Amino acid sequence: MNEADKAIDEAEKKLKESRRLAEYYVKNKARLRASNAKWKAENKARLKSYSAGYYLRNKEKIKAAAARWQLANKDKVKVRKAASTIARRALRLASRPETYYSKWHCKNREAVSERQAKWYVENGHIRRDAANRRRAMAESGTCSNDPQIAKWDKSWRNGGLPVRCYWCQGLFQPNKCHTDHIIALSNGGLHRIDNLCIACASCNTRKRNKDISTWNSQIVSPVLLI
């Protein structure tokens, strides 16, 4: 028998053997599965330590394979992430006591998010302005409570008298007014007593962080800037 025949013979033998094994497996599937499960159940600790050891020995390989898989299956990853977010949210909600509002919110989730999105499109500037102010205050270190400012603020808020809006010169109840920065913090204004004024709600919301020359052209008594 020459080498080629030998190789063919060998291959046939292997094929036969694997067929025999496959047949045996199909015939005894239920029994094999059961005994496999039994062995696994009895050797949990051993299996655990084996797989932990395997992981440690092949960490880099496993990580690289996972990264490759994630790259090749971006859509699946997206779906899984979304599913896990939903599952986590459901768990979180389930752990909270149910209230009338939470029930209503659950039923009207789409309407709520639609409403929120619409609000943000129309009023996003409110959030952005607040963020700008916070950032400016943090950057200029003006978050601290200045006692002079606090005193002034208290005096007009609790004075029991109507106060005059710095911008429109109208008289308003103090609870309808805000403390306003003459030059907005986000435009480089300082959180100092000489940059503060009383503004009625309407002026304050209209002014937002407009620069002072733009704002001056829209109000009754423009501010004289040196």
CB of 222 to Zn ion, least distance (A): 13
Would you give the DSSP letter of residue 97?
P
Residue 35 or 205: the one with the smaller Cβ distance to Zn ion is 205
CB of 168 to Zn ion, least distance (A): 3
Tokens representing 20 are 């025999």
CB of 184 to Zn ion, least distance (A): 16
Is the Cβ–Cβ distance between 153 and 179 less than 8 Å?
Answer: yes
CB of 221 to Zn ion, least distance (A): 10
Residue 186 or 204: the one with the smaller Cβ distance to Zn ion is 204
**Helix (H) or strand (E) segment spanning residue 172:** strand 171-172
CB of 215 to Zn ion, least distance (A): 11
> How many helical (H) and strand (E) elements, i.e. helices and strands, does the chain have?
10, 4
What mask of x and - would describe binding to Zn ion in positions 159 to 178, judged by CB under 5 A? Answer: ------x-xx----------
Q: Taking CB under 5 A as the rule, does residue 196 contact Zn ion?
A: no
Residue 185 or 197: the one with the smaller Cβ distance to Zn ion is 197
Tokens representing 13 are 């033998």
Is the Cβ–Cβ distance between 150 and 98 less than 8 Å?
Answer: no
Is the Cβ–Cβ distance between 188 and 202 less than 8 Å?
Answer: no
Q: Taking CB under 5 A as the rule, does residue 203 contact Zn ion?
A: yes
**Helix (H) or strand (E) segment spanning residue 179:** strand 177-181
Say which residues have a Cβ less than 8 Å from residue 218's Cβ, sequence separation at least 6: 206, 210
**Helix (H) or strand (E) segment spanning residue 123:** helix 109-140
Largest Cα separation within the chain, whole Å, is 117
Alpha carbons 212 and 132: distance in angstroms, whole number? 17
Q: Taking CB under 5 A as the rule, does residue 215 contact Zn ion?
A: no
Residue 46 or 178: the one with the smaller Cβ distance to Zn ion is 178
Q: Taking CB under 5 A as the rule, does residue 212 contact Zn ion?
A: no
* Interacting residue with Zn ion among 186, 191, 200, 207 (CB under 5 A): 200
Alpha carbons 207 and 175: distance in angstroms, whole number? 19
**Binding-site size, Zn ion (CB under 5 A):** 5
Q: Taking CB under 5 A as the rule, does residue 197 contact Zn ion?
A: no
- Which of the stretches 29-37, 56-64, 176-184, 192-200 binds Zn ion when contact is defined by CB under 5 A? 192-200
CB of 176 to Zn ion, least distance (A): 10
CB of 198 to Zn ion, least distance (A): 9
Residues lying near Zn ion in the complex (CB under 5 A) are found at: 165, 167-168, 200, 203
